[in-house]
Structure 1
């Protein structure tokens, strides 16, 4: 599949948010995958604003990134946190540079411990409305080209429009319910990942990939599959091992 075809697939994923059974978690994890593929970065994280205006981690491309983004929220610092507040993108941040990481030194140190040396933060924004931020990480000292930066912001914009479109189509209390359900889904997904990783003695990332493949091959929601595993309705041996 060419780069243009993968970019078109990302747009088609966004159009799918118009259906009734839209799965926000799966959509944003797919966004992470598209960013890794299209932008040649090592990892991606997505944070969204909850109804109270607080940032929440909703999706990440791997376990190391998920833990790093949670760390950023716990310490209320990092490029993604700042990007959400200002609505301004920051590209090619050198995590080894004190000058570039002066406002988030603790996060920068944790990022380096996780193996990352470069990061980028892009606002998920439509006009004056900022609903979150997209964080890109790289283990290499490698800048985004101007073309890649435009693609990255385009992906963030498409995701933002998709989420806002879905919210607009629903009542205000359904918006709150969507975010509440997404947070509950995240908990169920983390539990299911842990259960499968322990039973199989594999990494959390491998367990998560297996759960996503099972959900897609059976045309089931990712959250539903995870809850079935937790409740004992889905046997471990029914899932293809990585």
Structure 2
């Protein structure tokens, strides 16, 4: 019988990665967990992510071990696989750091990576359709006997794609929660204003339009939000004389 252990583990990771509809969601903690899964599934020493936080500059998040990943990401300010993938939106295929090309292409990063025992690296973009959200960088040890190929790159891209879906879903979830809160606030405010209009119309034996105009004029004169004035009317804490001051309609 075929052993499905690795496939099952990958499926579990992908489900966890896309499950981001949580009010306590923290992007850095989430991406650190994703990086840890990459270390496990891709036989790596470390993994890290550079992502674009909304309203902020790019933020580096380390995997396991975290300090090593952060150091390797931080050494890429003059170039490196993660920064290159983030800039192009394309994968950077597995590259042996003992070769001449990476030393010429990313000298500072390559020198640090080799000193820290990294023999191979590659990176893939975090994409949600046409939107580029960041890049995932995998760091493989010098001692690795694995023959890294398009298979590992493809697996990393699958994890990165699931991560991008997770980030996108959480942003959409947050936006919908904010919109729902705004709409509920607007509805509640409108109900209070209607209630205040009814109170004034009944008290002054006038129509609703005149009551509303009085509320609006007072709010403008005092530079207050209509909802605040309505609350004071409902509470009975607003003096009629002050409220009707400057109103030339029927008394």
What's the TM-score once normalised by structure 1's chain length?
A: 0.64
Q: Distance in 2 between matches of 1:88 and 1:53?
A: 22
2:45 aligns with 42
User: What's the counterpart of residue 220 of structure 2?
Assistant: none
- Residues 82-121 of structure 1, C-alpha deviation per residue, up to 9 Å, x if partnerless? 1100011012112122224432111111111111110011
Distance 2:137 2:175 in 1: 29
Query: Which one is further off, 108-117 or 139-148?
Result: 139-148
Q: Distance in 2 between matches of 1:147 and 1:106?
A: 28
Q: SS state of the match for residue 85, structure 1? A: helix
Tell me the residue number matched to 1:108.
110
* 2:124/2:153 contact within 8 Å kept: no
- 1:144 is matched with which residue: 145, 148, 169? 148
TM-score by length of structure 2 reads 0.62
Q: 1:139 to 1:15 in 2, by over 3 A?
A: closer
Is 1:158 matched up with 2:158?
A: no
Instruction: Please name the residue that 2:29 is paired with.
Output: 26
Return 5+ residue gaps in structure 2 as ranges: 179-251
Helix, strand or coil at the partner of 2:126: strand
Report the Cα distance in structure 2 between the residues aligned to 1:8 and 1:89, rounded to whole angstroms: 22
Give aligned pairs, total: 172
Q: Show the counterpart of 2:87.
A: 85
Return closer, same or farther for 1:101/1:50 CA change in 2, 3 Å cut-off. Answer: farther
1:115, 1:152 → 2: CA distance? Answer: 21
Give SS of 1:80's match: helix
Alpha-carbon deviation of 1:53?
6.9
List per-residue Cα deviations over 1:100-148 (Å, max 9, x = no partner).
Answer: 4432111111111111110011111122211111000111364423333
- 2:63 aligned with 1:60: yes
Task: State how far apart, in whole Å, the 1-side matches of 2:53 and 2:29 are.
Answer: 18
Confirm or deny: 8 A CA contact 1:98 1:105 kept in the other structure.
no
Indicate the residue corresponding to 1:213 in structure 2. Answer: none
Which of 98, 101, 108 is the matching residue for 1:99? Answer: 101
Partner of 2:175: 171
Cα distance change on mapping 1:2 and 1:138 into 2, 3 Å: same
Counterparts of 1:140-219 in structure 2, within 5 Å, are 140=142, 142-171=146-175
Q: Is the 8 A contact 1:18 1:166 kept in 2?
A: yes
Shift of 1:35: 0.9
- Segments of structure 1 that go 5 or more residues without pairing to the other structure are 175-242
The CA distance in 2 between the partners of 1:143 and 1:49, in whole Å, is: 32
**What is the alpha-carbon root mean square deviation over aligned residues?**
2.3
